[in-house]
């Protein structure tokens, strides 16, 4: 823990660690040289069964072989899109593109033709690597529709076709020199507001961020990490994949998240750490209550991506008898900005998002004049350092709106910092509800509602109102066996928060629309109501 005594909401870059000049491919070469026979990668299929396995030496051999094949087909700096669930070939392609100096563009395997075409065209990709089908999504047919008429696409390759994937054009090629500041990936933001933007991330940013994450999570060569977070997101291909690489430990790449299967893996493979969004953790806790498997190997559970309710923190700690850490970040910051320590107090774990990572400047700034605000004052969370993206691909205007002239990346998240440098989230700048001229923060209201036994998940949004400008609307997915009782929940809120923060309109939903990274698409809820698709209680 950093010992800080702040009066203003600004933390300079802490010097307890350094930033290495590393690349994704260089790190694999280094680890394969140091731990060649250590098991590095294990495939977990749709049924939750372990299949193919790679040591670090084997992973390097396949990664370099594929890298040479790609270098024979593409030029350094060209962009290729990977559109696939979590399979070993995704990991191989990540390393191979790093060796070949290609920029890997990631796409959600749930995409439909319009969404996939948008990513291909906006990124300027010259190839698409995909699988024919995943969970009923006819990806081969979708790919054919999406690429039709895109002249830049030279190749559409089935990643599960070994001959096609490793095809070498026959020319003798050498792998190019790749620099730490080179772009490694284009990760598309989850699009909670409008069209996704492609954040261009560097080798230096991704590799160092993953290393510092793994270090604060206390990973060792003996750790065993599952990866069921999507590989198309920085949590999967960055934090877990590159974090386990730099720890020299084993990673299980899990094709589909199934709580029962994950519990079986915990028992059989002795998994030591779990990273999952809150909805995944809720499912794991519920499944463990019935399965009661031996989970004694689990040392830490880590979550982020959306608000982590205090009750969930407590239930995970009680169920798995482990540490709990919350992380905060976004795609544009490679992705982590803050993380808890394993020995933080339960109060800090439940009510903050931890302290900044090493070598990361963080400030809270006024949304009115961009000045640094005093501690314990709500403003916009801003970040500066090695972790920030180069910019949004082919979108200089959006880049300028996000990264100011002093190099501060404006996250769009509202939050506050206490005198110790611990942060908390209060909402999004664009999600902030202005009721009668007063700023209301959805996360505060959601936290209060999650304390009620009937509430499993909740989303608070602002709806237009002729009298107040906006009113507070609440969408709730109830726990099993409950129905939403607005009057009871109003009384609950009035006991915890001010009257004007209590929702005026209530909705019950069976499930929430989610982004690819597991966040609730609040604008979709608002739009569905305005379009007459949702009826209040």
Whether residue 301 lies inside any domain: the answer is no
**Mean per-residue pLDDT over the chain, rounded:** 93
**366-377: b (≥16 Cβ within 10 Å) or e:** eeeeeebbebee
Instruction: Copy the structure tokens of residue 103.
Output: 């920029």
pLDDT tens for 14-62 read: 999 999 999 999 999 999 999 999 999 999 999 999 999 999 999 999 9
The yes-or-no verdict on residue 306 having pLDDT over 70 is no
What is the 3 state secondary structure string of 195-212? CCCEEEEEHHHHHHHHHH
* Overall average pLDDT of the 319-325 stretch: 97
- Report pLDDT for 523: 79
pLDDT tens for 251-267 read: 999 999 999 999 999 99
**Alpha helix (H) ranges present in 191-277?**
203-216, 234, 241-247, 259-269
Half-sphere exposure of 320 (CA within 13 A, CB side): 30
pLDDT tens for 210-220 read: 999 999 999 99
pLDDT band with cut points at 50, 70 and 90 for residue 440: confident
Whether residue 485 lies inside any domain: the answer is yes
The yes-or-no verdict on residue 157 having pLDDT over 70 is yes
- Report pLDDT for 190: 56
pLDDT tens for 465-476 read: 877 778 999 999
pLDDT band with cut points at 50, 70 and 90 for residue 347: very high
What is the separation of C-alpha 105 from the centre of its chain, rounded to a whole number of angstroms? 15
- Report pLDDT for 442: 85
Whether residue 482 lies inside any domain: the answer is yes
Whether residue 469 lies inside any domain: the answer is yes
Whether residue 74 lies inside any domain: the answer is no
Whether residue 500 lies inside any domain: the answer is yes
Higher pLDDT, 270 or 501: 270
Please provide residue 304's backbone torsions phi and psi, each rounded to the nearest 5 degrees. 180, -155
pLDDT tens for 486-502 read: 999 999 998 888 788 89
The yes-or-no verdict on residue 522 having pLDDT over 60 is yes
Domain count, the chain: 1
- Report pLDDT for 422: 98
Q: How many residues does the chain have?
A: 537
* Overall average pLDDT of the 269-288 stretch: 94
The yes-or-no verdict on residue 516 having pLDDT over 80 is no
484 lies in which domain range? 431-530
Whether residue 293 lies inside any domain: the answer is no
Cβ–Cβ < 8 Å for 93, 104? yes
**Closest by alpha carbon to 378, among 392, 362, 365?**
365
Whether residue 25 lies inside any domain: the answer is no
What order of strands is seen across the sheet that includes strand 273-275? 273-275, 300-303, 323-329, 336-339, 355-356
Q: 44-50: list long-range contacts, CB under 8 Å, 24+ apart.
A: 44/226, 44/252, 44/253, 44/254, 44/255, 44/261, 44/265, 45/255, 46/255, 46/256, 47/261, 48/254, 48/258, 48/260, 48/261, 48/262, 48/264, 48/265, 50/252, 50/265, 50/268, 50/269
- Report pLDDT for 494: 86
- Report pLDDT for 70: 98
CATH classification at residue 526: 3.30.300.30
**Closest by alpha carbon to 474, among 405, 525, 436, 510?**
525
The yes-or-no verdict on residue 438 having pLDDT over 80 is no
Q: How is the chain split among helix, strand and coil, in percent rounded to 5?
A: 30, 25, 40
The yes-or-no verdict on residue 193 having pLDDT over 50 is no
User: What region, left, alpha or beta, does residue 173 occupy, with left being phi > 0 and alpha being psi -120 to 50 degrees?
Assistant: beta
């Amino acid at each position: 823990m950093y010992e800080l005594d702040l009066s203003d909401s600004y933390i300079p870059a802490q010097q307890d660690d350094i930033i290495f000049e590393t690349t994704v491919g260089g790190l694999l070469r280094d680890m394969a040289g140091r731990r060649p026979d250590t098991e590095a990668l294990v495939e977990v299929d749709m049924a939750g069964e372990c299949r193919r396995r790679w040591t670090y030496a084997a992973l390097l051999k396949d990664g370099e072989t594929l890298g040479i094949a790609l270098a024979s087909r593409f030029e350094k700096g060209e962009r290729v899109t990977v559109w696939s669930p979590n399979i070993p070939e995704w990991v191989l392609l990540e390393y191979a593109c790093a060796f070949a100096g290609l920029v890997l563009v990631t796409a959600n395997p749930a995409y439909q033709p319009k969404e996939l075409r948008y990513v291909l065209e906006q990124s300027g990709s010259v190839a698409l690597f995909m699988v024919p089908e995943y969970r009923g999504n006819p990806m081969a047919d979708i790919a054919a529709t999406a690429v039709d008429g895109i002249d830049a696409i030279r190749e559409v390759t089935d990643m599960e076709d070994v001959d096609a994937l490793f095809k070498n054009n026959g020319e003798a090629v050498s792998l190019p020199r790749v620099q730490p500041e080179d772009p490694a990936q284009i990760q598309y933001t989850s699009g909670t507001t409008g069209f996704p933007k492609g954040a261009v991330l560097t080798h230096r940013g991704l590799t160092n961020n993953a290393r510092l994450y793994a270090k604060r999570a206390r990973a060792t060569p003996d750790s065993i990490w599952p990866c069921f977070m999507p590989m198309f997101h920085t949590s999967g291909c960055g934090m877990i994949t590159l974090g386990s690489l730099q720890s020299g430990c084993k990673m299980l790449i899990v094709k589909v998240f199934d709580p029962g299967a994950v519990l079986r893996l915990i028992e059989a493979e002795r998994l030591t750490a779990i990273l999952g969004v809150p909805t995944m953790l809720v499912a794991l806790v519920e499944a463990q209550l019935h399965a009661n498997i031996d989970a004694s190997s689990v040392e830490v559970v880590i979550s982020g991506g959306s608000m982590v309710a205090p009750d969930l923190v407590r239930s995970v700690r009680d169920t798995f008898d482990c540490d709990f850490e919350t992380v905060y970040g976004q795609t544009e910051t490679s992705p982590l900005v803050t993380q808890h320590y394993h020995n933080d107090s339960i109060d800090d774990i439940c009510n903050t998002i931890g302290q900044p990572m090493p070598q990361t400047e963080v400030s809270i700034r006024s949304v009115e004049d961009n000045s640094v605000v005093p501690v314990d004052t709500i403003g916009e969370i801003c970040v500066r350092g090695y972790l920030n993206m180069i910019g949004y691909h082919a979108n200089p205007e959006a880049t300028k709106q996000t990264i100011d002239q002093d190099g501060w990346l404006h996250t769009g998240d509202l939050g506050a910092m206490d005198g110790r440098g611990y942060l908390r989230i209060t909402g999004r700048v664009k999600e902030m509800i202005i009721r009668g001229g007063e700023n209301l923060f959805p996360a505060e209201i959601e936290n209060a509602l999650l304390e009620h036994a009937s509430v499993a998940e909740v989303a608070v949004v602002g709806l237009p109102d002729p009298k107040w400008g906006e009113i507070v609307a609440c969408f709730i997915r109830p726990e099993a066996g409950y129905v939403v009782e607005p009057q009871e929940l109003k009384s609950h809120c009035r006991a915890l928060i001010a009257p004007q923060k209590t929702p005026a309109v209530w909705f019950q939903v069976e499930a929430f629309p989610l982004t690819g990274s597991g966040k609730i698409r609040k604008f979709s809820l608002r739009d569905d109501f305005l379009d007459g698709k949702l009826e209040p209680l």
